[in-house]
Amino acid sequence: MYLSDGKTTQFAHNVQPSLAWPPFQNPVLCEKPWFRGYVYPDVLTPQSSISSTESLVISDPDFQSEDLNFLSRSERYDAAVKKSAQMILKLREYGISDPEEIYCYKSVFRGNHHEALGLHFNMFLPTLYTQCNKEQFEKWVPLAESFKALGTYAQTELGHGTHLRGLETTATYDPATQVFVLNSPTITSIKWWPGGLGKTSNHAIVLAQLHTQGKCHGLHAFIVPLRSMNTHIPLPGVVVGDIGPKFGFDEVDNGYLKLENVRIPRDHMLMKYAKVEADGTYVKPPSAKLTYGTMVFIRSMIVGEAGRALAKSCTIAIRYSSVRHQSEIRPGEPEPQIMDYQTQQYKLFPLLATAYAYKFVGQYMNQVYHRITGDISQGDFSELPELHALSAGLKAFTTWTASEGIEVCRMACGGHGYSRCSALPDIYVNFVPTCTYEGENTVMMLQTARFLIKSYRQASAGHQLSGIVSYLNESERRLQPQSVSSRPTVVNVNDLASLVEAYKLRAAKLVELAAKSIQQELQKRVSQEDAWNNSAIDLVRASDAHCHYVVVKLFAAKLGEIGDTGVHSVLSTLALLYALQGIQQHSGDFLQTGLLSVPQLSQVSQRLKELLAQLRPNAVALVDAFDYCDEMLNSVLGRYDGNVYEHMFEWARRSPLNKTEVHESYHKYLKPLQAKL
Amino acid sequence: MYLSDGKTTQFAHNVQPSLAWPPFQNPVLCEKPWFRGYVYPDVLTPQSSISSTESLVISDPDFQSEDLNFLSRSERYDAAVKKSAQMILKLREYGISDPEEIYCYKSVFRGNHHEALGLHFNMFLPTLYTQCNKEQFEKWVPLAESFKALGTYAQTELGHGTHLRGLETTATYDPATQVFVLNSPTITSIKWWPGGLGKTSNHAIVLAQLHTQGKCHGLHAFIVPLRSMNTHIPLPGVVVGDIGPKFGFDEVDNGYLKLENVRIPRDHMLMKYAKVEADGTYVKPPSAKLTYGTMVFIRSMIVGEAGRALAKSCTIAIRYSSVRHQSEIRPGEPEPQIMDYQTQQYKLFPLLATAYAYKFVGQYMNQVYHRITGDISQGDFSELPELHALSAGLKAFTTWTASEGIEVCRMACGGHGYSRCSALPDIYVNFVPTCTYEGENTVMMLQTARFLIKSYRQASAGHQLSGIVSYLNESERRLQPQSVSSRPTVVNVNDLASLVEAYKLRAAKLVELAAKSIQQELQKRVSQEDAWNNSAIDLVRASDAHCHYVVVKLFAAKLGEIGDTGVHSVLSTLALLYALQGIQQHSGDFLQTGLLSVPQLSQVSQRLKELLAQLRPNAVALVDAFDYCDEMLNSVLGRYDGNVYEHMFEWARRSPLNKTEVHESYHKYLKPLQAKL
């Protein structure tokens, strides 16, 4: 037991010399020197060239910059543009072109912040690659790749977000002059939010309602020049600017765009699929499903990002909890590490388990996406609806939990978590928008619910479902009234497979409850749509249970891939903790559906406490295994060497308010006030 | 039913003309012109002179300042000092001296931000008032009241927060020169966090371990001059500065203070209670309980603050949800107000109910505090431990829920909630520190638990408890094994009194479970302290249930004070919603303890949906009743006139990044980059 062993065997590093601990005594897991390396490249990421890419950035003096938190917003934007420009040159200089390596390189140099040219890379270029016809490709891609054309992607409007059909910007074709005339006809139609739109971009891909020959053909994409490519001054009819400060993303110039009779040539409409001919004849695109893929890809990336944001936060909070001493457990003894408090473990260890779970889920979705992309290229769309539904729900499920979790980590660091030097405020404000962008989370949950209800109805009608929802067949049989009494109480709270089964049956039951709620509403003679809205709480709950099941299932499946018994053992403990804590949090569901009994719930509580104590000695090693270097974390509290307090003091002294001993406000306001009273 | 009535009867104001609604049609409640006025002065606050104080600030051109969000941190601090100085002069000019009126005046002029001289008023002056002896009072109070002495209160250290005994700063008495020598002996002993310490204050009350005649007598308070009262330059041995940027509180100079052999005269120790005589003899204070009172007062203020922060957030989110149109419920019909979505109602209406609940709890605690203060002044301390325990738990319970609730409100506003113009980011970052300061929340919960366990043991030993924990007597009888079978299932989910009873029994059961967990640990032969730590999860859970019971009970009690049937009816609906939603969120507890059956839980879900629909027409009126003027909310999304989009555009155009058409970073980095590629 670690409590009786004293503190010396619990802790890998973070040993602050002034606290006079025996230096560098290894905990259980860190005794195995391969653990860190093993978990990192093999379990968490497929690449091992990453550490060399990392060191390229870290050792480069050009990237040592002032803490962004000390700068004004305009200076932060300035610093971000500078970094983006430097990075582009460095990547060329080093000849880095592999996408994974580029991603890694950018992650390190960005730290917890965003890239000024983010949308140029993530949206403008990919849209050109996929939606230009041959002539357009030859014209625009070289311009964009040489950054002559700096671009963004302008979809969301001031009054319209999630509901794309509601967008109001118009592009009206004039066959006489062979141009499209673009307009923002109302205040609510002003483009709003696109990153890089305010000051950086000289072009935007604008989504607008296409009107030609007196008819509206819905949303299409147009390349709209915004600023002169020589002077960067906005072009006539283009009202463009920054939308003002936000909760985070301080270094990004999210912008607005009001179009006033802006005329662009016909070939500025992206014409790989849909077309407008010279005389104004509209040619329909072959399939509407093609845009699904990108959404699925971005959402699966966000799931991985949830894992990373939470992993960073856990790294900071768990390391700091091992440095921080507070209060007393036993009177008269020295103040213990706050990591020794059961309440602190209960806050942080389930989040640590969640971070591992989401990293594995992110990997899985990435693999599935790549597999399905292969199928799609061969014309097989069969798995796409399922993946689309799954990616929507998992994006919502993981971003909500991770956002809350980051704040729990921050508050677990006490007052110091509130300082910008902890990095936790930055991680939070830069991650939490994922709950809203790329599909608002509640809307995403309801999309998944739509797929679940459809599948449930198919199963009820006797269809055999395949894929992840196949359990709805099974449950349809199991949950028949006649078989209820014969259903055995199967759950063994010490067995992960049995818990996965319990999560599955919970999901099945909640999907059934939601479907029945809709049915009941319909019996009140309301419309399908109102019945859906009046059951929305149940539908979100069903989606949530479905996603939770998928995460537990994938975590359990991942364990099967791990050969080493030591690593397998500790990750099994994490997986069990993840599953049991979810049951405790949703104990009402498990009791209500008869999947667990009251005595079993007490067992769950007891087992959870044992698991916390069991994980305690390995907690620091488990966050070290995420392998975030200090330069990436940029957190004084999360420093690898644990030398927190000296560096907090040093950081504070660099605060802009300390540039002068006496702030000018003293002379301007306080001294005159004293003189008047 | 509001859905079939169409949109015109649901909405008091916020009618955006461009959306072409019929103007100003009153909803059910707003038909009663007295409603707003009635709820405001009589139910929510005891004062009616407030609106005149409010208008004093609003009409004063001196207080019309630039949005703080557009300024750098140094400019924000500058603006806050300016405002504080102006405010002091204005209060004198207008002759405002009533504390409630001062509070109101400050609330309006502060908006969602903090006061530069906050700690001078809230900690420095009150400490002088209560802990100076007669001579000290005569010297220091006039200096402080005329702002010659600008002060703060320096307790927390870099390495020490909650655990006061751990503070390391020393004050050693030297009888030869009759001075105290103050020192920060370690890096962890540097004072850290006090507001106004960095740049504003020229004095601090410093908490330090008193050493005299070779003995340490624990923490005492000393007045330490920090800066010259003429030049404001730090005095010799005083290393003082700003601790750097934080998550919020940008306009406050939270500071650090390192003391290096700073010598202060003997009479700078606050000597109303404890004393050090000229020869170094230490004289003990008469009672240690006296400091309890201040803590109780501040924590009860924080509970009220939780209600206010949540009320502001609900006002913004509910008004905006009535302005924003999105997606479709029925195909082909216009986009509905997002307030019509059941999921949106489920996010916001329980929070609206919570805001009302916390306002009532804040009022109650304030009343109890004032009553008990009277008792204390007559030497009766009997109710203090209970109130102390209650204030600790309720502070934690309400600040956690309110913090989460503010973020739910923010995200319920979609992307625009992320803009600083929504005011929701400011409300969050300036409120969330209450979870940490004045007692870290988990520690607070455990303090309440200590009182509950002590009371439970007394009840078990046959003592008759009084006050709020008297239910532990009752439950002790009820929960005896022999009586379990005879306990009737009493809960009626439509009856608030019955639900209060259910919350009470849940609390009793969870206190019992926690006490048993400690007992079981002790049977494993661990120490009392380890048994406590190993049961901490259960203890926090018990405290949480106790606080939840108190809030539901007080909300129900408040209804008894409301005579008007219309107001009584709508507030009863809110109270029922509050109670039922809590049951749904903690359904596991209610099922586990046998207080509710599975069919009753389905009734709860059904009833909740009905209550949401019932509240829908009155939602806007219920937030209007909080009566926050636009100047106090400072939120474009929460504007009373609903004219959101025009004002977002106008606000954005004032963003500092829009001061020039082309940002300098284009010339510095982008143009050179384009030239190189």
Q: How far off is chain A from B318, nearest CA to CA, in Å?
A: 17
Q: Does one domain contain both B96 and B180? A: no
User: Residue B102 has what pLDDT?
Assistant: 81
Lowest mean pLDDT among A19-28, A243-252, A260-269, A378-387: A19-28
Q: Which residues of B touch A325 (CB under 8 A)?
A: 159, 166
pLDDT for B294-350, tens place per residue? 778 888 889 999 999 999 999 999 999 999 998 877 788 888 999 999 999 999 999
Q: Give me the mean pLDDT over the B184-206 stretch.
A: 98
Angle between helices B496-523 and B536-559 (to 10 degrees): 160
Q: Which of B285, B312, B337 is the last residue of a domain?
A: B285
Nearest 10 degrees: Cα torsion A44, A45, A46, A48: -110
Q: Does one domain contain both A231 and A378? A: no
pLDDT band for position A220 (50/70/90)?
very high
ipTM: 0.92
pLDDT for A559-588, tens place per residue? 999 999 989 999 999 999 999 999 999 999
Residue A27 within a domain: no
Residue A118 within a domain: no
Q: Give me the mean pLDDT over the B256-274 stretch.
A: 97
Say which residue the tokens 């992320």 belong to.
B418
Q: Which residues of B touch A82 (CB under 8 A)?
A: 665, 668-669
User: Residue A10 has what pLDDT?
Assistant: 33
pLDDT band for position B517 (50/70/90)?
very high
Q: Which of B266, B303, B272 is nearest to B286 (CA)?
A: B272
- Class of residue A181 by CB neighbours under 10 A (exposed 0-12, middle 13-18, buried 19+): middle
Domain CATH for B161: 2.40.110.10
Q: Which of A285, A313, A348 is the last residue of a domain?
A: A285
| Secondary structure class of B222 (helix, strand, coil) | strand
Average pLDDT, chain B: 88
Q: Which residues of A touch B537 (CB under 8 A)?
A: 342-343, 346, 605, 608-609
Residue B220 within a domain: yes
Q: Give me the mean pLDDT over the A290-307 stretch.
A: 82
Q: Does one domain contain both A169 and A102? A: no
Widest CA span in chain B: 91
Choose among B193, B330, B587: nearest Cβ to A415. Answer: B193
pLDDT of B17 > 70? The answer is no
User: Residue A89 has what pLDDT?
Assistant: 92
DSSP B325: B
Residue A250 within a domain: yes
Find the catalytic residue in A101, A115, A168, A438: A438
Q: Does one domain contain both B196 and B309? A: no
**Total structural domains in chain A?**
3
Residue B587 within a domain: yes
User: Residue A33 has what pLDDT?
Assistant: 29
Strand partners, A578: none
Phi-psi region of B72 (alpha: psi -120 to 50; beta: other; left: phi over 0): beta
Q: Which domain holds residue A46?
A: 33-113
pLDDT band for position A112 (50/70/90)?
confident
User: Residue B36 has what pLDDT?
Assistant: 31
Q: Which of B241, B262, B285 is the last residue of a domain?
A: B285
pLDDT for B81-104, tens place per residue? 999 999 999 999 988 887 777 877
Say which residue the tokens 């501040």 belong to.
B298
Of all residues in chain B, what percent carry a pLDDT higher than 90?
72
Q: Residue A231, annotated ligand binder?
A: no
Q: Does one domain contain both A430 and A566? A: yes
User: Residue B285 has what pLDDT?
Assistant: 86
**Residue B584: closest CA among chain A residues belongs to which residue?**
A588
Cα B175 from chain centre:
45
User: Residue B444 has what pLDDT?
Assistant: 96
Lowest mean pLDDT among A298-312, B212-226, B329-343: B329-343
Q: How far off is chain A from B463, nearest CA to CA, in Å?
A: 29
Q: Does one domain contain both B521 and B383? A: yes
CB contact under 8 A, B529 and A245: no
pLDDT band for position B543 (50/70/90)?
very high
pLDDT of A38 > 90? The answer is no
* Residue A138 bears catalytic tag: no
Q: How far off is chain A from B448, nearest CA to CA, in Å?
A: 15
Average pLDDT, chain A: 88
Q: Does one domain contain both B61 and B185? A: no
pLDDT band for position B49 (50/70/90)?
very low
Q: Which two tokens stand for residue A128?
A: 């050109």
pLDDT band for position A15 (50/70/90)?
very low
Q: Does one domain contain both A159 and A217? A: yes
Q: Which residues of B touch A404 (CB under 8 A)?
A: 404
Q: How far off is chain A from B539, nearest CA to CA, in Å?
A: 10
Lowest mean pLDDT among A38-47, A308-317, A492-501, B648-657: A38-47
pLDDT of B28 > 80? The answer is no
* Number of other CB atoms surrounding residue B175 within 10 Å: 15
pLDDT of B25 > 80? The answer is no
Q: Give me the mean pLDDT over the B132-157 stretch.
A: 97
Q: Give me the mean pLDDT over the A347-359 stretch.
A: 98
Residue A669 within a domain: no
Residue B126 within a domain: no
Give whole-number Cα distances, A5 to A2, A278, A613, B22, B549, in Å.
5, 82, 13, 74, 41
pLDDT of A486 > 50? The answer is no
User: Residue B479 has what pLDDT?
Assistant: 52
CB contact under 8 A, A662 and B435: no
Flag whether the pTM goes above 0.90: yes
User: Residue A498 has what pLDDT?
Assistant: 96
Lowest mean pLDDT among A235-239, A300-304, A602-606, B215-219: A300-304
Domain CATH for A82: 1.10.540.10
Q: Which residues of A touch B82 (CB under 8 A)?
A: 665, 668-669
pLDDT of B488 > 60? The answer is no
Pick the residue of A616, A673, A677 with the most B CBs within 10 A to test the interface with B by mutation: A673
Q: Look at the alpha carbons of A291, A293, A296, A298 in this order and tell me if their dihedral is positive or negative.
A: negative
pLDDT of A14 > 70? The answer is no
Q: Does one domain contain both A304 and A352? A: yes
Cα B407 from chain centre:
15
pLDDT for B546-557, tens place per residue? 999 999 999 999
pLDDT for A582-627, tens place per residue? 999 999 999 999 999 999 999 999 999 999 999 999 999 999 999 8
Q: Does one domain contain both A452 and A320? A: yes
pLDDT of A50 > 60? The answer is no
User: Residue B33 has what pLDDT?
Assistant: 29
**Residue B598: closest CA among chain A residues belongs to which residue?**
A592
User: Residue B478 has what pLDDT?
Assistant: 53
pLDDT of A497 > 60? The answer is yes
pLDDT for B609-642, tens place per residue? 999 999 999 999 999 999 898 988 999 999 999 9
* Number of other CB atoms surrounding residue B255 within 10 Å: 28
Could you write out the DSSP letters of every residue in A605-621?
A: HHHHHHHHHHHGGGHHH
Better-scored residue on pLDDT, A128 or B63: A128
Choose among A245, A645, A677: nearest Cβ to B70. Answer: A245
Find the catalytic residue in B101, B305, B438, B512: B438
Q: Give me the mean pLDDT over the B225-242 stretch.
A: 98
pLDDT for B344-383, tens place per residue? 999 999 999 999 999 999 999 988 888 887 777 777 777 7
User: Residue B290 has what pLDDT?
Assistant: 56
pLDDT for A654-667, tens place per residue? 999 999 999 999 99
Choose among A147, A326, A441: nearest Cβ to B163. Answer: A326
Could you list the residues of B known to form a binding site for FAD, using ranges. 156, 195
Strand partners, B123: none
Q: Does one domain contain both B464 and B355? A: yes
Q: How far off is chain A from B466, nearest CA to CA, in Å?
A: 30
Q: Which residues of A touch B441 (CB under 8 A)?
A: 411
Give whole-number Cα distances, A199 to A151, A192, A240, B382, in Å.
11, 13, 8, 65
Buried/exposed A336-368: b ≥16 CB within 10 Å, e otherwise:
bbbbbbbbbbbbbbbbbbbbbbbbbbbbbbbeb
pLDDT band for position B72 (50/70/90)?
very high
Domain CATH for B431: 1.20.140.10
Lowest mean pLDDT among A424-438, A503-517, B109-123, B423-437: B109-123
Q: Give me the mean pLDDT over the A239-249 stretch.
A: 98
Pick the residue of A447, A527, A670 with the most B CBs within 10 A to test the interface with B by mutation: A670
Choose among A81, A248, A420: nearest Cβ to B244. Answer: A420
* Number of other CB atoms surrounding residue B604 within 10 Å: 21
User: Residue B62 has what pLDDT?
Assistant: 77
Q: Does one domain contain both B273 and B303? A: no
**Residue A428: closest CA among chain B residues belongs to which residue?**
B247
Pick the residue of A76, A143, A247 with the most B CBs within 10 A to test the interface with B by mutation: A247
Compute the count of residue pairs across chains A and B with CB atoms less than 8 Å apart: 395
Q: Which residues of B touch A435 (CB under 8 A)?
A: 411
Most confident region among A159-173, A316-330, A340-354 by mean pLDDT: A340-354
Residue B664 within a domain: no
User: Residue B646 has what pLDDT?
Assistant: 97
